[in-house]
Structure 1
Amino acid sequence: MTINIQFVKMKTSESMSAYTTKKLQKIEKKYEWVVRIEVFFKKENDPTEKGHICEMEVSLPGPKIFATSNEKNFEMAVKETISDLEKQLKKRKQKFTNQNISS
């Protein structure tokens, strides 16, 4: 699995890259058919004290999976986005196993 992390219109953060990679490696262990994950970090001015946006696009067999979250900090945004991705990946895995059973 390839992980590509991009910081959009902001400074690159090695610690954020390492944190995100570590979290995504857990997905790689559970779902070995994931090909690539594109991660985008963005910062927006937000009056609700949020504005730390993390977007992830997962390439795998079939349609791509996408998740995004807007939180107070990037660590929370990464956790929330990965949680959302895992829900989608579980559904996709169930479809795979159901198709294999019926074949």
Structure 2
Amino acid sequence: MNYTENYRGIKIDVQSVNLDINAAVQEEIRSSIDKLSKFTPDINAVDIYFKTEGHGGTAKSVVGMRVGIPGPDVFAEEKGEHWIPLVKDVVDKLVRQLKKNK
């Protein structure tokens, strides 16, 4: 499932390989963008990918997020079990990067 949306003037591009992203995860993505916007008002685009690595009992969920801002973009990735906590962890990493770049 891939989808693109415009949220508050920010282009969101979500890519997921052989996965469907439910409404709760989509809402978490929007609230994450609100959180990131507090640290930099200049976000142009956000690219997010969801994928699963491995098979069966060893499968891991992976979330990666690139935030397009003037200058070098910031990127973070996290691996784990559940999508929403992974999105939150990725956003926390991005916030640290944005604070460091100020």
2:51 matches 1:51: no
Quote the residue 2:7 is aligned against.
none
RMSD, aligned α-carbons: 2.0
The whole-number CA distance in structure 2 between the counterparts of 1:90 and 1:50 is 33
Secondary structure (helix, strand or coil) at the match of 2:28 reads helix
Cα deviation code 1:4-53 (max 9, x no counterpart)? 22222212322211112112211113310121110111122368866111
Distance 1:25 1:50, change over 3 A: farther
Distance 1:10 1:64, change over 3 A: same
Give the structure-2-normalised TM-score. Answer: 0.78
Distance 1:19 1:63, change over 3 A: same
Secondary structure (helix, strand or coil) at the match of 2:21 reads coil
Letter in 2 for 1:25: D
Quote the residue 2:34 is aligned against.
25
Same amino acid, percent of matched pairs: 25
| Structure 1 residue corresponding to 2:43, chosen from 34, 40, 50 | 34
2:70 matches 1:70: no
Structure 1 or 2, whichever has the larger Rg, is 1
More helix by share: 1
**How far does residue 2 in structure 1 lie from its aligned partner after superposition?**
2.3
The whole-number CA distance in structure 2 between the counterparts of 1:48 and 1:88 is 33
Structure 1: state its 5+ residue gaps: 94-103
Quote the residue 1:10 is aligned against.
19
Give the structure-1-normalised TM-score. Answer: 0.77
More strand by share: 2
